[in-house]
Chain A
Amino acid sequence: MKLDSMYQDIILDHYRNPHGKGLRDGDAEVHHVNPTCGDEITLRVRLDGSTVADVSYESQGCSISQASASVLNDLVVGKTVGEAQAVQEAFLELMQSKGQGEGDEEVLEDAVAFAGVSKYPARVKCALLSWMAWKDATAKALAQNPAVND
């Protein structure tokens, strides 16, 4: 069934047990919404030098948007900002692939499970919500702290 290509077990697992959820200290905070369906996220980024020390968030929304925030947390915390940005770009590219991309598992790990979502234009925004929020928050955090530059 086609549904299973969207709702992979990995996605449903992240949805049921989200990683890193909850708001903790951060250097910058953003609030993003998906106006078409009401998915919302408040996300904070904390940097430690050039390392992403924490990504914390409070969110409400569909399984895809929730699971995606959880995977984001797994993938970027502990990486340098530059490495994390490369992951973000790879994820963005996968989501824009209209069902054609598979994603590089070396880079994207669990996030390759979202490949099936890219076939559903209405849901791509759900998957990207937290990633765009992270990008935005990171830019803000860096702007506050221009010394960090990798």
Chain B
Amino acid sequence: MTHAHESASLTGLLDTDAIRKDFPVLQRLLHDDKPLVYLDNAATSQKPRQVLEALTAYYERHNANVHRGVHVLAEEATALYEGARDKVADFVNAPSRNEVIFTKNASESLNLVANMLGWADEPYRVDADSEIVITEMEHHSNIVPWQLLSQRTGAKLKWFGLTDEGRLDLSNIDELITEKTKVVSFTLVSNLLGTINPVETIVRKAQSVGALVVIDASQAAPHMVLDVQALEADFVAFTGHKMLAPTGIGVLWGRQELLEDLPPFLGGGEMIETVTMGSSTYAPAPHKFEAGTPPIAQAVGLGAAIDYLSGIGMEKIAAHEHAITAYAVERLLEIPDLRIIGPRTAVDRGAAISFTLGDIHPHDVGQVLDEQGIAVRVGHHCARPVCLRYGIPATTRASFYLYSTPGEVDALIDGLHHVRNFFG
């Protein structure tokens, strides 16, 4: 901890000593005696005791299927599940709780939108005369569903390129977003580059041509205030497991009028009004889009996670991560041969930092860090086009969260020096 004097002067940090006590896994020692330094938060977050207890309480006391019974447990389970929907609606400042659709993850949310638009009537229908616009920094979850839609409908897929600094290149926005554009889908925060994108510029342009806007907020919802009304998007997708909740629960928020007009994608129990052998009518949103038994416990867990995050305050979490990120960027740049892939500043950037280290392959970097108890992610992070853009096969990525400390940044830096010596 050679830089303790610098890290001690960081402002806006949370009381991580207290927070870390809530996360049992953070007490783990690895490889006999090394404290876990968990820097893989962009892949998934750890879970606080409060979330784990909510899951246990749900299964121990209230477990039943939802919306289907008159008995006590069924009513309690339904109230808990629908209560989680209220919490999500509050968390993202949705005008109505009926705009919150539970899915299993962000990928499902994005696939759901793509399929709604593929099967929609005019004016939303994506067909051979339409264009779809995405960006080169998307997670595969926000690329492949649009590729599929484009292949199935004949719509043309276009995308924003990236600048050398790891930002969106908006210089050709007028050629990209045109009268033919039916939908523009982009990430609010890149999971690989860490870049925070200029939502307003893109939304304004999309609105001017009447295109729908889909925002992938998977890397935003866990880390900052998310206000779907302020974003002025039509759909916003995110995933629970990156924001302290269990796996198996995701969210698609969509504007009410759209959800009323657009067709369902998956059919099954729960999403219908009446069914005959010939045809069915559908329940109103959000149920129209939630076929089958939903992930009930997981939704309850997401509700508990939101309570936990809101208890601390998303603004404070964002400030904490900003301070940690600024410190990490500064210290990473001290390392010879280290190249940050993405903005080399903490301005308009989230807490995921990707880098390469000389010609030492990320796979080897990650392995040697693991030996010191430091968990990072290596590879293309499900955003392979970004790696191609910057001419690299893969990166090492360190990503922080509300429980990350300057000491963990120091541990990462020491670890990287060790990596250089090992392969030097």
Query: A37: CB under 8 A from chain B?
Result: yes
- Across-interface contacts of A37 in B (CB, < 8 A): 362-363, 378-379, 394
Complex interface: stretch among A60-68, A72-80, A102-110:
A60-68
Name B's interface SS.
helix
Interface assignment of A121: CB less than 8 Å from any CB of chain B: no
Chain A nearest Cβ from B392, distance in angstroms: 9
Q: In the complex, what residues of B have CB within 8 A of residue A60's CB?
A: 393
Contact of A7 among B379, B393, B422 (CB under 8 A): B422
Q: Is the CB–CB distance between B422 and A3 below 8 Å? A: yes
Task: Tell me what chain A mostly uses at the interface: helix, strand, loop, or mixed.
Answer: mixed
User: Cβ of A61 and Cβ of B367 under 8 Å apart?
Assistant: no
Instruction: State A12–B364 Cα separation when bound (angstroms).
Output: 11
Is A1 an interface residue when CB atoms closer than 8 A count as contact?
yes
Contact with B along A22-61 (1 / 0, CB 8 A): 0000000000000011111000000000000000000011
Check if A38 sits within 8 Å of B380, measured CB to CB: yes
Please, how many angstroms separate the alpha-carbon atoms of A61 and B384 in the complex?
Answer: 15
Report the bound CA distance from A3 to B367 in whole Å: 8
| B61, CB-defined interface residue at 8 Å | no
- B368 — which chain A residues lie within 8 A by C-beta? 3
Q: Which residues of B contact A1 (CB under 8 A)?
A: 371
Within B399-420, the residues touching A (CB, 8 Å) are none
B363/A126 in contact, CB under 8 A: yes
Shortest distance between the CB of B415 and any CB in chain A (Å): 12
CB within 8 Å for A62 and B361 given contacts A38-B380, A38-B393: yes
Nearest Cβ in chain B — how far from A141, in angstroms? Answer: 27
Rounded to whole angstroms, the CA-CA distance of A3 and B34 in the bound complex is 14
Does A98 lie at the interface of the complex (its beta carbon under 8 Å from any beta carbon of B)? no
Q: How far is the CB of B420 from chain A (nearest CB, A)?
A: 14
Bound Cα distance from A38 to B354, whole angstroms: 15
Interface residues of A in 108-150 (CB under 8 A from B): 120, 123, 126
Query: Which of B363, B380, B422, B423 is in CB contact (< 8 Å) with A61?
Result: B363
The answer to the question of B31 belonging to the interface, with a C-beta cut-off of 8 Å to chain A, is yes
Known: A7-B422, A37-B362, A38-B387. A61 touches B393 (CB 8 A): yes
| A62 B371 Cβ-Cβ under 8 A | no
B372-393 contact mask (Cβ, 8 Å, vs A): 1 or 0: 0000001110001001000001
Minimum C-beta distance from A97 to chain B (A): 19
How far in angstroms is the closest Cβ of chain B from A26? 23
A31 to chain B, nearest CB (A): 14
A64/B371 contact (C-beta < 8 A), A2-B31, A38-B380 known: no
Question: CA separation between A62 and B393, bound complex, in Å?
Answer: 10
Is A6 engaged at the interface, CB distance under 8 Å to the other chain?
yes
The complex places the Cα of A36 from the Cα of B393 at a distance, in Å, of 11
- CB closest residue in chain A, given B392: A38
Contacts of A39 in B (CB 8 A): 363, 393
Q: Do the beta carbons of A123 and B363 come within 8 Å of each other?
A: yes
Q: What are 26 of the A-B contact pairs (CB < 8 Å)?
A: A1-B371, A2-B371, A3-B367, A3-B371, A3-B422, A7-B364, A12-B423, A36-B379, A37-B363, A37-B379, A38-B379, A38-B380, A38-B384, A38-B394, A39-B363, A39-B393, A40-B393, A61-B363, A63-B363, A63-B364, A63-B423, A64-B363, A64-B364, A65-B363, A120-B367, A126-B363
9 tightest A-B contacts by CB?
Answer: A62-B363, A62-B361, A38-B394, A38-B393, A37-B379, A3-B371, A37-B363, A63-B364, A62-B364
